[in-house]
């Protein structure tokens, strides 16, 4: 996908090759755009290419839309992004509770942060309650007026505000598939998908969410948000979480975002003896629509499965279940493959899955690793063509 061009049909490789000849004219265009606060309409048109994920290919829901923008617009965005990011870093404006799109941060560091806080609560003999928020199409529902207000409050001057107004306004997109294209339709809200500036603008938009929850901890990875706190007993924990969630719902309404309450769930963490003492180890957190958030005992968060004791047993079990079919296919066909090919398959298909977040689930108990160790043993045996 990275080699496909946007609506202007100019591939990025062409600009890279011709950089010595066109660098000065491109720099002039970028400076003119920043000085006048104007972006050409062609640079704000996106070509959307649907990519099939899995399942029935006749269902639209089984496709992931990939938004391709003109490469010249991305060059302009990169210049603005670099200066805007440096500005916010210099003034420490962005909350440390956001790990998405931040240097030296990843889903692993975000997951470690949350798990470490929960584990610290367990060591103190507390229960930890968490609310995992599920925003409905968060990037696509960003209100431009509210975004401009937040940019202004963060210190962005009038001239750059004019440029950002031009950046998000008068945008359009069309779908391209099998050589055919739809008519372009206007994009009236949200940050541009497939853009360089879009993720940073969204980060700025939700930057003040952490200020709402003063009695709890908030951690975000882009729009994946979890609110949690630790207390000695369940009633006190529920009271704090209810108060925090009520404030969050007000913030969401004020910022014109949408919360998917069916997928927003709670989870109760604690040591096995602590949870065993509870008659009803569930959290009761109500919504503004008089509903109650669902309490789960297993949840996939940032690519890993959580359980109430942080034993990571469910994650290791699911990982082992995922690896066994691949190991079986590799073992059955090992006689047809050279050692070099077997090694490459193990390194590229099996080890990445095993090593992903191993720094997190390495704290699991030894007996939990039994199935996973069996998988690893089979990997090594297949690689060296020996019998296990």
Determine the pLDDT at residue 329. Answer: 81
Q: How many CB atoms lie within 10 A of CB 7?
A: 21
Close Cβ partners of 167 (under 8 Å, ≥ 6 residues apart): 39, 44, 192, 197
Say how many C-beta atoms besides its own lie within 10 A of residue 226's C-beta. Answer: 24
Mean of the pLDDT values across residues 310-316?
85
371 vs 198, which has greater pLDDT? Answer: 198
Confidence of residue 330 (pLDDT cuts 50, 70, 90): confident
Query: Mean pLDDT, the chain, as a whole number?
Result: 89
Query: Could you give the 3-state DSSP secondary structure of residue 311?
Result: coil
pLDDT of 383 > 60? The answer is no
- For residues 266-290, give the mean pLDDT: 92
pLDDT digits (tens, 9 = 90+) for 28-37: 999 999 999 9
User: Tens digits of per-residue pLDDT, 71-123?
Assistant: 999 999 999 999 999 999 999 999 999 999 888 889 989 999 999 999 999 99
Instruction: Give 174-211 pLDDT, tens digit per residue.
Output: 999 888 899 999 999 999 988 999 999 999 999 999 99
Per-residue pLDDT at 316 exceeds 60? yes
Q: Considering only the C-alpha atoms of the chain, give the largest distance between any 2 of them, rounded to a whole number of Å.
A: 74
Q: Are the C-beta atoms of 114 and 208 separated by less than 8 Å?
A: no
State the pLDDT at residue 128.
97
Percent of the chain with pLDDT over 70: 92
CA–CA separation, 68 and 80 (whole Å):
19
The predicted model scores a pTM of 0.87
pLDDT of res. 326: 79
Q: Which two tokens stand for residue 221?
A: 């990875």
Which are the contacts of 138, defined by CB distance < 8 A and separation ≥ 6?
202, 206, 222, 223, 257
Contacts of 210 (CB under 8 A, 6+ apart): 95, 97, 98, 218, 220
Give tens-digit pLDDT for 215-230. 999 999 999 999 999 9
Report the pLDDT value the prediction gives residue 203, as an integer from 0 to 100: 95
Tell me the percentage of the chain whose pLDDT exceeds 90: 63
pLDDT at residue number 1:
38
Q: Is the backbone of residue 297 left (phi > 0), alpha (psi -120 to 50) or beta?
A: alpha
Residues pairing with 174 in the sheet? 47
Q: Per residue in 59-80, pLDDT tens?
A: 888 888 889 999 999 999 999 9
The answer to whether 171 touches 186, Cβ cutoff 8 Å, is yes
pLDDT at 318 over 80: yes
Q: How far apart are the first and last CA of the chain?
A: 41
At 89 the three-state DSSP class reads helix
Residue 379's pLDDT band, with cuts at 50, 70 and 90, is low
- Structure token digits, residue 85: 């990011």
Whether 388 has a pLDDT exceeding 70, the answer reads no
pLDDT reading at 387 higher than 70? no
Buried b (16+ CB within 10 A) or exposed e, 118-139: beebbeeebbbbbbbbbbeebb
DSSP 43: G
């Amino acid at each position: 996908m990275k080699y496909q061009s946007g609506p202007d049909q100019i591939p990025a490789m062409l600009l890279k090759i011709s950089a010595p000849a066109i660098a000065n004219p491109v720099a002039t265009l970028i400076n003119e755009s920043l000085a006048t606060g104007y972006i050409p309409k062609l640079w704000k048109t996106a070509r959307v290419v649907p990519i099939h994920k899995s399942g029935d290919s006749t269902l639209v829901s089984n496709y992931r839309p990939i938004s391709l923008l003109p490469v010249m617009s991305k060059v302009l965005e990169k210049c603005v992004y670099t200066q805007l990011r440096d500005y916010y870093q210099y003034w420490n404006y962005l909350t440390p509770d956001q790990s998405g799109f931040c240097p030296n941060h990843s889903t692993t560091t975000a997951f470690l942060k949350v798990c470490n806080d929960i584990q610290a609560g367990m060591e103190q003999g507390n229960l930890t309650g968490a609310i995992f928020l599920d925003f409905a199409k968060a990037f696509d529902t960003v209100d431009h007026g509210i975004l401009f207000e937040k940019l202004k409050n963060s210190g962005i001057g009038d001239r750059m505000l004019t440029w950002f107004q031009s950046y998000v306004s008068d945008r359009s997109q069309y779908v391209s598939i099998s050589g055919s294209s739809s008519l372009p339709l206007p994009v009236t809200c949200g940050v541009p998908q497939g853009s360089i500036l879009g993720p940073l603008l969204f980060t700025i938009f939700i930057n003040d969410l952490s200020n709402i929850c003063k009695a709890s901890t908030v951690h975000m990875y882009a729009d994946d948000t979890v609110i949690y706190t630790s207390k000695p007993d369940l009633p006190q924990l529920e009271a704090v979480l209810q108060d925090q969630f009520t404030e969050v719902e007000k913030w969401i309404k004020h910022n014109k975002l949408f919360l998917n309450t069916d997928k927003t769930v709670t989870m109760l963490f604690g040591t096995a003896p602590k949870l065993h003492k509870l008659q009803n180890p569930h959290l009761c957190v109500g919504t503004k629509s008089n509903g109650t958030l669902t309490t789960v005992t297993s949840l996939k968060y940032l690519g890993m499965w959580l359980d109430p004791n942080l034993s990571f047993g469910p994650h290791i079990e699911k990982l082992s279940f995922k690896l066994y079919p691949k190991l079986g296919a590799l073992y059955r066909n090992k006689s047809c493959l050279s050692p070099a090919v077997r090694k490459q398959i193990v390194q590229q298909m099996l080890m990445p899955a095993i090593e992903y977040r191993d720094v997190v689930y390495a704290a699991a108990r030894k007996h939990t690793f039994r199935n996973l160790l069996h998988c690893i043993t089979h990997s090594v045996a297949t690689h060296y063509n020996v019998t296990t």
